[in-house]
Amino acid sequence: MKRLRILFIVLAISAIVVGCNGKKESENKEEGKSAINSEYINLTMVKPKTINPLLNKDKSVGYITNMIYDGLFTIDENYNVVPQLVEEYGIAQDGMSIDIKLKDAKWHDKKPVTSEDVKFSIELIQKNVESPYNFSAKNISSISITNDREFTIKFKEKYAFSLETLIFPIVSQSKLGSASDKEKTEYKYNLIGNGPYKIEKYQERDGMILTVNEDYYNEFPKTTKDIKVGVVPDEETQISMVMALDSDIAKVSLNDLSKFYEKEFNITKYEGRDYESLIFNYDNEFLKDINFRKAIAYSINREQIVEEGYMGDAKLVNFPLNSNSKYYNKDIASVNYNKEKSKQYLDKVNLKTDPNAEKDKTDVKEDTAKVEKDKADIKAKISELNLKIVVNKNNTERIKSAHIIVENLKAIGIKSTIEELEGKELENAITSKKYDLALVGWELSSVPDVKSIIENSGYSDKKLNSYLESLSVATTESQIKGIYKSIQKYINDNVIFMSLAIRDDYIVTNRRIEGKISPNDFDIYEGIINLNIKDK
């Protein structure tokens, strides 16, 4: 803040000195004219500790290095893995290895990208436990090199999503192989990449100039522009610079979105990775009953939650995968809001542990009377219920959603109370089962493995466990799709937990920029090669 105040004072003095000229510049900004006068697309990043893409942990820097370095595979706008440096690949039948052939790719110094570079990159990741890609290399046991462009990666264990873990950038062995650990973090050892843009100029305080890599293995549109990257102190300044028309693109939150007007900015919405769900406490005897869970599920208006709780800033989903993922099945019918159905399931609630046990025919009359009495007792118990809904005190969207759920449950005769908790309190309430319903959020991994989310729902049975075990050892895309279809249907049919939504993310673009960009949370600048600068 102190730095910003000084900046404002300097600007004020400048305005007094330049007089009328300063006034004209101010008027131009008010009219929406960009202060940028360049042929570059202007971006920013927070001051980097390193530009080594395997050691950097700052997202804003990572989005920039994604343009400089390619990986074996990458994540597309639908969160599906696609080849990048890889020309051909084949996964072994047992799922324990993958054969890869590289494209005829080059480093920015014209040298070829080789199998040795891949091996070096994997070993560097494995040596650095704090690397954001360390999880990706944990299951790699070795890499066997056939020639400069062909090699085999061997895995420690069979894993359905081994391919999706190979999304780490590849760095140059010739530039970093003899460097010390400290030198590997220094910018002068990390100026040569293999991606669509190369570093033309780098200054630690001022940032970098990125120019189009003419030797790139894929073609560029003729209109592709060079990029200028400025260095800023924090994410807040990144947003401020776009607002001031001093930068062209920034990722913004929903709260910041209201500051941007359509006259000056293009707004691109995309599905993020923040997944929202409702989980049940299976220690509650009512929540063990599938009919009671179905009654709750049909009573909850998820569309209202998305529109009012999350202010339309979310995508309704039925499973914890991005909705455009190749593993997400859109054909499976979901449990949607239906008040009448909800009441019907509430009437079916039976707390007996074995409701399907065979009965002696001589006791039918006696049993009928007992069943009616049990139903009356259950209805009485339901009327006395007060379900505790726990929610993060600092998450206004979840709190609003919890209030909608309270009203929805009230409409079918179930009372509920919201308890707003912070951090550790909320975590302790969930782990110690001091709740009935909990509104929780997850950050979906770039690897489309939902096993941990399902296991943390608190539900377990033989059939579900069998599905999860099958998923762990699946070796083909078609097998994974089939298993996920079964899991998704089983979770929906049994209302094991309720998927609510995946939050939307946004980027804003200066209107002087034209063309389509296809961001995702892995790479917000995906498609930047398609952008152009409008003629003046």
Q: What is the CATH number of the domain that holds 289?
A: 3.10.105.10
Indicate the average pLDDT of the chain.
90
**CATH classification at residue 207:** 3.40.190.10
* 407 shares its domain with 276: yes
> Residue 418 contacts by C-beta under 8 Å, 6 or more apart in sequence?
389, 390, 391, 399, 402, 403, 406
Same domain? For 68 and 141 the reply is: yes
> Smallest Cα–Cα separation from 469: which of 485, 487, 493?
487
More confidently predicted of 16 and 49: 49
List the single range of 25-29, 405-409, 474-478 with lowest mean pLDDT. Answer: 25-29
CA trace torsion 9, 260, 46, 106 (10° rounding): -140
Q: What is the pLDDT of residue 290?
A: 97
Residue 455, pLDDT > 60, answer yes
Q: Render pLDDT for 362-383 as a digit per residue (tens, 0 to 9).
A: 455 557 777 677 788 898 999 9
Query: 301: pLDDT confidence band, cut at 50, 70 and 90?
Result: very high
In-domain check, residue 22: no
Looking at the structure, do residues 319 and 206 belong to the same domain, yes or no?
Answer: no
Output the pLDDT for position 24: 40
Q: Same domain for 338 and 472? A: yes
Q: Domain tally for the chain? A: 2
Asked if 292 and 434 sit in the same domain, the reply is: yes
pLDDT at 34 over 50: yes
Write out the two tokens for 262. Answer: 């359509």
Look at 473 and 24; give whichever has higher pLDDT. Answer: 473
Q: Are 46 and 494 in contact (CB under 8 A)?
A: no
Q: Is 344 in the same domain as 257? A: no
Does residue 460 lie within any of the structural domains?
yes
Distance, in Å, from the CA atom of 79 to the CA atom of 83, rounded to the nearest integer, reads 13
Same domain assignment for residues 83 and 109: yes
Give the range of the structural domain holding residue 228, as residue numbers without chain letter: 33-264+511-533
Q: Residue 457: which residues within 8 A CB-CB, separation 6 or more? A: 279, 280, 496, 497
CA–CA gap between residue 470 and residue 480 (Å, rounded): 9
Is 9 within a domain? no
Q: How far apart are CA 497 and CA 492, in angstroms?
A: 8
Identify whether residues 236 and 314 lie together within a single domain: no
Write the pLDDT tens digit of every residue in 230-269.
Answer: 999 999 999 999 999 999 999 998 888 888 877 789 999 9
Inside any domain, residue 370:
no
Residues 422 and 300 in one domain: yes
What is the model's pLDDT at position 355?
Answer: 46
Transcribe 216-268 into DSSP letters: -SS---TTPPPEEEEEESSHHHHHHHHHTTSSSEEEE-HHHHTT--TTTEEEE
Give pLDDT, residue 35.
Answer: 57
458: Cα within 13 Å, side-chain hemisphere: 21
Residues 500 and 515 in one domain: no
Do 133 and 259 belong to one domain?
A: yes
pLDDT tens string 118-157: 999 999 999 999 999 999 999 999 999 999 999 999 999 9
Q: CA 191, CA 186: separation in Å to the nearest integer?
A: 10
Name the band, by pLDDT with cuts 50, 70 and 90, for residue 493: very high
Q: What is the pLDDT of residues 412-439, one digit of tens each?
A: 999 999 999 998 999 999 999 999 999 9
Same domain? For 453 and 317 the reply is yes
- What's the pTM value of the predicted model, to 2 decimals? 0.88
Residues 6+ away with beta carbon under 8 Å from 55? 128, 130, 131, 184, 185
Report yes or no on 6 lying in a domain: no
